[in-house]
Structure 1
Amino acid sequence: MDESDRAPRVRGEAGWQRPSFLELFFDLVFVFAFNQVSLRLINDFGTGNRLQIDEVGRALVLFLALWMLWLSTAFSTSRGRPESTPGQVMVFMAMAGATVMAVAVAKGFEGRAFVFAGAYVAARVSRFLLAVRLRQAEHAPVWGWFSVGLSAVPWVLGGLVDDRLSRGVLWVVALALDYGGFALTHRRTVGAPIAGEHLAERLQQFLLIALGEAIFLSGRALTNSSFGIPQGAGFGLAFVGIALLWRIYFYRAGSVLPLAISRARERTRESVAVAGSHLLMIVGIVLSGVGFDLYIVGPLTQPRPDFLVAILGGPALVLAGRALFERQVFSRISRSRLVGLLALGLLVPAAWYVPPLAAGGAVVVVLAAIAVWDGWRARGRAPEPPVPPI
């Protein structure tokens, strides 16, 4: 037995640690998973004359399953000690499940549906069993753990049926059970030990993975393009857009997230709340990365209104999530977030009639204006301390 096994397997209330190397290794699987989801979306946008909204919905269902697996594992490692032998086994089993799920994403609603669902269910159930071993289950309501087994039924049935509509309905029901059970489990365990600062850093790392995927997609798009001036301009806009998304997130709520969680009266509920806003921002970043690809590959093509789902919709989701996140950290929302959302909405009618590159350029201008506004508002003022509402 090594030293990590002799140490307590549940963190103390003040037992914050930086994420372990194993957790960072676990995140590498989701670099691949992000890429597979993004490529599926790019393929959906690139086929036909218009985007089928159900295709975006299917990609979202697959992504939400991957996110739930990552998030539930992150919460477990923030409660327990991933360096212990049971903790390592739990992370590696989740890692194996996520890898199989990522491999199946490209045809996750088609020929590999059962593989995707089976890997997800196996990873979730095994995590529950190991949580019992780590003595974490004693903090959770019965319904929270019951939902893990209950949701397995529609997941497996959805993987077996042939009709994609029926599969989608079953999997949406399964996700509702999973997310409802997760929220109930953690929102009602206020006194359970959780290293909120550790979880904050894990959420930030996952968001950075999403930004990294946007960089990868932009570089891939330029490499596969004709490499002309319009394509280069599109790549430049994409790079500036990614940098602005990073700036808008970390200034200033993102930089004080660990402190905000530590100051919250109900740290577990605050952790669940910020996980929700991060999900919204991460989905927006993934969609933004698809938009970057679209206007790098075809910067001057005929306007396609469906492209606006990615080019305008992605940044809009990021701003909406960032506004919610700011409310969770500072108990207020800056006007720049709301004005930015309004500006993106006002761009929609004009963007229907201009090339993708022009629409992307307009979005970058809006993001730059928000970043400048933030800097101007904070000029000469002391850094604002976090004041979480819960």
Structure 2
Amino acid sequence: MTSQTTKSNVDGGQVRVSTLELFFDLVFVFTITQLTHVFTHHPGWEALAQVVLLFGVIWWMYSGYVWLTNEVAPNNSQRRTLLLTGMFGFFVLALAIPDAFHGTGIAFGLGYVLVNSVHTVLFWSSGGSSATNAIKRIAPLNALAAALVLAGGFAHGRWQYLCWAAAFVVQILSPYLVDTRDFVVRATHFCERHGLVIIVAIGESVVAIGTGLAGEKLTVPLVGNVALGLCLAYVLWWAYFGIDDERGEHALSAVSDRERSRPAVLAYGYALYPLLVGIIVAAAGIKMSIAHGDEPASMAAAAALSGGVALYFTGQFCFRVVLKLPRPWTRLVAAAAVCATIPIGIAWVAWAQLAALVAVGYAAVIIDDVITLRTGHHSSYI
């Protein structure tokens, strides 16, 4: 048993992700499915703004639950009951997402208040002494954000947007308004949990392939489009898990315990936000175009497909910058390169854009891997 494992067991935290947390993540990922539906139902800038706002406030609280279970292992009935109550709150949020701006905003707000309240109570009652001190400082800001989300549920039009945008701003600023160094970040569990939610989110792009083909006759060209869609999901997986997943954990572990909370929230909170939004948008692009691969793509579908992948690479760029990982600039180059494939779908056919996107994205990842190998670094996959 390592010293880190011993320390975690004494403090009540975890080194590895529990099956209950995986169950929790399956409930959370339903929100990603619902957000994909929001964009595909009325694709455009307004839908994108709704996805950005809704996922922003949801992601903050999901990440808060990762911090929670990093400190408080769900190893007794009281903790599991509270965690299941939080899962119920997330499920209510997910159910309310499609019409959150047109009638179910109150349900969304109430679900958010429940999620927020359970998080604070469980942290306060079961966390270690340092975590209890930390949650006392940040809980008022979380409560303010929850109040704004609830107020937005009762509001309409621009006031609803303003309330939820204000809640998101409060969340983004909160780590800079209070001292978060009393939170204990156990790097192994923390990084594994965030990695798993990325895996499940990428799975949404696979689901989007299936739902986009509902009722379609299975033909050879259609099977080819499916193969391209799965290849794109693989590229997204490989881009993060080929190297960055392991290097991120090592980099976070190398930071002293007292100073680890700041890079943790920047790399796994802020940086993963555009990455996950990118998966949602790209999944929407796949869903809108996969069944009509032999036709020109709409502007919204083409932009969502390539733009989502570009957002994913941009999130990786931020992730590498925060943790001081090598060659973050390569992900910005990749983001620009995949955006250049948008005109292919509009001017020609959707399958050609998807093929170009896979080729450009995979080339960018492979080139980065080759450079990594030549510098003498390896991972579990290369």
**Normalized against structure 2, the TM-score is what?**
0.88
Q: Which residue of 2 aligns with 1:106?
A: 98
Q: How far apart, in 1, do the equivalents of 2:265 and 2:219 lie?
A: 46
Deviations 1:262-302 (A, max 9, x none): 11232211211221222221111121111222221221334
Q: Which residue of 2 aligns with 1:59?
A: 51
Does the aligned pair in 1 maintain the 2:71–2:127 contact within 8 Å?
A: no
User: Do the aligned partners of residues 333 and 112 (structure 1) sit closer, same or farther apart at CA in structure 2, a change above 3 Å counting?
Assistant: same
Q: How far apart, in 1, do the equivalents of 2:64 and 2:176 lie?
A: 11
Unaligned runs of 5+ in 1: 1-7, 46-50, 386-390
Q: Which residue of 2 aligns with 1:18?
A: 16
Identical positions, percent: 23
Is residue 70 of structure 2 the alignment partner of residue 81 of structure 1?
A: no
Q: How does 1:1-390 map to 2 (within 5 A)?
A: 16-45=14-43, 51=44, 53-135=45-127, 138-140=132-134, 143-161=137-155, 163-182=156-175, 184-185=177-178, 188-265=179-256, 266-275=259-268, 276-349=270-343, 351-383=345-377
Does the aligned pair in 1 maintain the 2:252–2:264 contact within 8 Å?
A: yes
* RMSD over equivalenced CA pairs, Å: 2.6
Deviations 1:136-160 (A, max 9, x none): 5533275521112222332222111
What SS class does the counterpart of residue 140 from structure 1 fall into?
Answer: helix
Using the TM superposition, name which of 327-336 and 30-39 deviates more.
327-336
User: Do the aligned partners of residues 270 and 353 (structure 1) sit closer, same or farther apart at CA in structure 2, a change above 3 Å counting?
Assistant: same
Q: How far apart, in 1, do the equivalents of 2:57 and 2:328 lie?
A: 32
Q: How far apart, in 1, do the equivalents of 2:8 and 2:323 lie?
A: 27
Q: How far apart, in 1, do the equivalents of 2:39 and 2:170 lie?
A: 25
The Cα of 1:348 is off from its aligned counterpart by 4.1
Using the TM superposition, name which of 201-210 and 369-378 deviates more.
369-378
- The alignment covers a number of residue pairs equal to 369
The Cα of 1:61 is off from its aligned counterpart by 1.8
The Cα of 1:124 is off from its aligned counterpart by 0.2
The Cα of 1:339 is off from its aligned counterpart by 2.5
Does the aligned pair in 2 maintain the 1:90–1:126 contact within 8 Å?
A: yes
Does the aligned pair in 2 maintain the 1:11–1:78 contact within 8 Å?
A: no
Q: Which residue of 2 aligns with 1:5?
A: none
Does the aligned pair in 2 maintain the 1:105–1:116 contact within 8 Å?
A: yes
What SS class does the counterpart of residue 312 from structure 1 fall into?
Answer: helix
Q: How far apart, in 2, do the equivalents of 1:374 and 1:73 lie?
A: 33
User: Do the aligned partners of residues 240 and 149 (structure 1) sit closer, same or farther apart at CA in structure 2, a change above 3 Å counting?
Assistant: same
